[in-house]
Amino acid sequence: MSAPHSAGLRASVQRIVPLAWPVFIGQVAVLGFGTVDTVLVARHSPTDLAALAVGGASYITIFIGLMGVVLAVSPIVGQLFGAQRLREAGHQAWQALWLALALSLLGCTLLAFPAPFLALSKAGPEVADKVRGYMAALAVALPASLVFTVYRGFNTAVSRPKAVMALQLGGLALKVPLSLALVAGVPALGLPSLGVEGAGIATAIAMWGQTLLALALLRRDPFYRRFELMAPGQRAPHGASLRALLRLGVPMGLGIGVEVTGFAFMAIFISRLGETAVAGHQIAANLVSLLFMMPLGLSNATSTLVAQRIGAGDIDDARRLGWHGLQFTLAVSLLVGGAIFLAREPVVQLYTGNPTVQAAALPLLAWVALFHAADAVQTLAAFVLRAWRIATLPTLIYVLALWGVGLGGGYALAFNLGGAVPQAWQGAPGYWIASTSGLSVAALALAALLAWVLAQQRRRGLSPGATLR
């Protein structure tokens, strides 16, 4: 066990922030893929932007759920790293890689046959045709994205997020010129304008380049030698290890999948209201996703430190870090959300000069501050609970709050099912009102669950390494 740490909030923040900021920048780079596409496609045509909203929501629904399963490697490796069981940590990285490849087969099949998503969105023939082309390109990108998830989860768990950040920034640097060329076309070079399909092709090329470089670094960087990644017996699939990943990963993936679909399916249902409504929603959704990178970075950092301290047997420090991370994340999210609310008009103008789309997006941004704060709290609480290997109950909370209150309530408001919904709450604003309410319920429930778990750990105590299995 390492030397004791200071118990104050400031001391905890000083430990969390150095791990959080590289995750934040790296995830902003990831979101930059979608932001670049949104801006370029929005200026290309409203039809392509509608296809981007539907296709992007469909892809995120598939990818995020599968990614959540793979990311079970992070809390497992974090605890092993804290316990200095480094060879076992390297073994888990290989098992996560095999799992990522297996899940890629399922994901690519779903992306290649998008009929269920098109039926939900009730997209017109022109939009549907563009969605199919976009998702076919993303099917090529999916295996690379899941394999890179292994690299990301492993490096985050061993407190090396800067390596991930560097590759994610490199991927964005490749993505931007590719999207510029393929979306709008370059007549001088004989490249036609491909619209949203060009954005998908650019994503596939950038993701494969980023992932191949990550695999090369795992083989050549001296940092990874301590994990004995290339030692005999490390690389073969191992049934018990894969089952352990799935025991934690399946509820994690389901929980993250419910969380993301609660948001992503908004775009699919809002697309029924027409191209202008879904274009306005796409702008608001992209902005909220950008804001989310801050609590995501803090959540990753906090959960990494908590898992490591659990592995080291320092349960008091693990408890303290989790609670302080929650307090700090809430405070920062309220400040950021409030600032965006006050500056919402110029922010929307950065996305589009179309006054009709601006008018559709502005009412949605009025909910950003509350949405962002609730999103930050529930994310931090869920991540810390995963560090304690608790994922099933949070998934049930997500189902009730995000699908029940968020999606179900949003559908009732948006389409005036009760016949007495105020005009201002109908359409896309209804979904944002209900989604904010659902996130608030999830945030309160997950924070209460985390408080209960931390209280239980304080009362019973925990012997070093007891959670490692």
Amino acid at 315: I
> Among candidates 78, 95, 69, which has minimal Cα distance to 233?
95
Q: Distance between CA atoms of 19 and 96, rounded to whole angstroms?
A: 22
Find tokens 């016949």 and name the residue.
419
Q: Distance between CA atoms of 369 and 468, rounded to whole angstroms?
A: 39
Q: What is the dihedral of CA 105, 107, 113, 119, to 10 degrees?
A: 160
Q: CB of 74 within 8 A of CB of 157?
A: yes
- What six digits make up the tokens of 265? 């399916």
DSSP 6: P
Transcribe 422-461 into DSSP letters: -GGGSSHHHHHHHHHHHHHHHHHHHHHHHHHHHHHHHHH-
For 186, the 3-state DSSP assignment is: strand
> Among candidates 386, 388, 387, which has minimal Cα distance to 398?
386
Find tokens 């090329």 and name the residue.
205
Phi, psi of 191 (to 5 degrees): -90, 120
Specify burial of residue 239 (Cβ count, 10 A radius: 0-12, 13-18, 19+): exposed
DSSP 8: S
Q: Residue 350 contacts by C-beta under 8 Å, 6 or more apart in sequence?
A: none
Q: Distance between CA atoms of 464 and 173, rounded to whole angstroms?
A: 44
Q: Distance between CA atoms of 424 and 272, rounded to whole angstroms?
A: 18
For 359, the 3-state DSSP assignment is: helix
Q: Residue 379 contacts by C-beta under 8 Å, 6 or more apart in sequence?
A: 292, 295, 296, 299, 329
Calculate the alpha carbon distances from 445 to 162, 394, 441, 462 in Å.
33, 9, 6, 25
- What six digits make up the tokens of 201? 């092709």
Q: How many CB atoms lie within 10 A of CB 359?
A: 12
- What six digits make up the tokens of 365? 């941004």
For 85-234, strand residue ranges (E) read none
Q: Distance between CA atoms of 213 and 220, rounded to whole angstroms?
A: 11
Transcribe 360-396 into DSSP letters: HHHHHHTTHHHHHHHHHHHHHHHHHHHHTT--HHHHH
Per-residue pLDDT of the chain (469 residues; tens, 9 = 90+): 455 566 789 999 999 999 999 999 998 898 888 888 888 888 888 888 888 888 888 888 899 889 999 999 999 999 999 999 999 999 999 999 999 999 999 999 999 988 888 887 777 888 889 999 999 999 999 999 999 999 999 999 999 999 999 999 999 999 999 999 999 888 777 788 888 999 999 999 999 999 999 999 998 999 999 999 988 888 899 999 999 999 999 999 999 888 888 877 787 788 788 878 878 887 888 788 888 989 999 999 999 999 999 999 999 999 999 999 999 999 999 999 888 888 888 888 888 778 888 888 888 888 878 899 999 999 999 999 999 999 999 999 999 999 999 999 998 998 888 777 777 778 888 888 999 999 999 999 999 999 999 888 877 764 433 444 3
DSSP 223: G
Give the up-direction half-sphere exposure of residue 183: CA atoms within 13 A in the CB hemisphere: 24
